Amino acid sequence: MAYRVCFVCTGNICRSPMAEWVFRARVEEAGLDGLVEVDSAGTDGWHEGDGADPRTVAVLREHGYGADHTARQFQASWFARIDLVIALDAGHLRTLRRLAPTGQDAAKVRLLRSYDPAAGGDLDVPDPYYGDADGFGACLEMVEEASPGLLAAVREHVEGQAA
């Protein structure tokens, strides 16, 4: 059974689809694409059914990533089938942990930048939605910097399951 990772931001049109596509690329590069499934969602349903923000699509394509996406809202029932829920900021972390049906489910929720040793104490990926294109580039950089640490943690878990 595949190890499932879901990235979550507010509306699922900026940060979480960006993290989904970056991490999916890292998983494929590592040869784990048959063992790890990558997805994303939002804590709120405002943009459900919409594509990613055009600025997200532009920065992803500019850096060679895929960008096909349809926004959706995270549901509490998903905890039963997801192994790791990656929040993009502390507000999402709190919301998702409150939504979790059990303590074990709440423990599945982690902050993305907690996997970046250089992040220090600032573990939020700021929402670029209300800013300009530079904010989307900065968001992509933070996501890319956290991805190797997250991949190492996921790889350790996947290899532990195979043993």
How high is the pLDDT of residue 93? Answer: 98
**Eight-state DSSP code of residue 73:** B
How many angstroms separate the CA atoms of 92 and 94, rounded? 5
Could you read off the pLDDT of 12-54 as tens digits, one per residue?
999 999 999 999 999 999 999 999 999 999 999 999 999 999 9
Confidence of residue 1 (pLDDT cuts 50, 70, 90): confident
Catalytic residues: 9, 15, 127
Give the phi and the psi of residue 66 in degrees, each rounded to 5.
-70, 165
Q: Is the pLDDT of residue 162 over 70?
A: no
Which fold does the domain 3-162 belong to in CATH? Answer: Rossmann fold (3.40.50)
For 105, other C-beta atoms within 10 Å of its C-beta total 18
Q: Is the pLDDT of residue 159 over 80?
A: yes
For 90, other C-beta atoms within 10 Å of its C-beta total 11
